[in-house]
Amino acid sequence: MATIYLAAGCFWGTQKFFDQFDGVLSTQTGYANGNTENPSYEDVKHHHSGHAETVKIDFDESRISIEKLLDYYFMIIDPVSVNKQGEDEGEQYRTGIYYADEFLLPAVAAVVRKQEEKIGAKLAVEVLPLKNFYTAEEYHQKYLDKNPGGYCHIKPSLFKLASKA
């Protein structure tokens, strides 16, 4: 098992998107790489805590590779947008790939280079070691499953790319 932390704008849709793939064992919404301990949603949204809305993804590398996860990641973000995805704006909506496992970095760097070559520009996606991660409040976990009409910048059709049979 390996773990990667992905910031892709609003974490509700990001979690729902990654939950569909075989090999993704669990997901958890939270706040990463900020300047305060144990922030609340209000701290992140209004008090400039420096955290990014992030999804922790535990995955089975024998069933899905980090490269494949990141290929999916780049399907749901605008990789050159700074602090904005869809209608969501602010530093908490920045994009980032945060790793706690150093062994993932070469593959992450290769995928990022490939994306930069593909679009011909430097990406606005942070690639950094995980500094911290705090689990979001329970009402943010699996939010779009509980609130199917909730806002999300990800096209609804992308939630049906795969099935966990």
* Residues linked to residue 134 through DSSP beta bridges, in sequence order: 31
Amino acid at 65: S
Residue 5 burial (CB count, 10 A): 21
Catalytic residue among 8, 10, 24, 111: 10
152 is catalytic: no
**Residue 36 CB burial class (10 angstroms; 0-12, 13-18, ≥19):** middle
Q: Which of 80, 106, 96 is nearest to 132 (CA)?
A: 96
Q: For residue 4, what are its two tokens? A: 């990667």
CA of residue 146 relative to chain centroid, distance: 19
Q: Residues with catalytic annotation?
A: 10
